[in-house]
Amino acid sequence: MPLSRLLAISVNALLLGGCTQEGHLLDILARALSSDGEVKIETSCTAFLGFGPAVAIFQVSPGLAEEAVSLTGRFAENWAWSHHESMNDFHKKRGVRTVGIGATLLDGKDCLKKLTANADALLFDKMPGAYFASPDEEVVIVLFSEPQGRGAIFVQAP
């Protein structure tokens, strides 16, 4: 197989993998958020060919952030949105499994650093907002109090 054809196949796989990955992230967000709101992914980062962790910064329509805290969990009945002062506070109070939420966040840390200059602040500083984790703790979502309507999603193995 000529090198140019192999290169073309590789580039297409990367491009299509990125589209599929964003679609997958939007599907997860649609299940966790009210279906009435609009969600737009601003920027995302995925592991090579979409295997492994994925992180996205997203924007939601007005009012959706306030609704999130009152929603019952869409992944399981006993998991819902809750308000926390920081990612660390969320991890300590909501993390059930030893490696669950912490592993999801740490796996996505490198991707997050590619997306935003304040990655360390998001992970370690006070960032009040509505936080969510799936029952298996492989999905973590946060809707920040400020700026309102902006959020981040971490998926350990999409």
Q: Measured between alpha carbons, how far is 112 from 105 in angstroms, rounded to an integer? A: 9
**pLDDT at position 47:** 72
**pLDDT at position 72:** 47
Q: Are 75 and 32 in contact (CB under 8 A)?
A: yes
What are the residues whose beta carbons fall under 8 Å from the beta carbon of 31, sequence distance 6 or more?
Answer: 74, 75
Query: pLDDT digit string (tens) for 6-40?
Result: 333 333 333 333 445 788 899 888 888 866 668 89
Query: pLDDT digit string (tens) for 30-88?
Result: 888 866 668 899 999 987 655 678 999 999 887 776 676 565 445 555 567 888 899 98
**Other beta carbons less than 10 A from residue 152's beta carbon:** 24
DSSP symbol at 125: S
Q: Are 39 and 26 in contact (CB under 8 A)?
A: yes
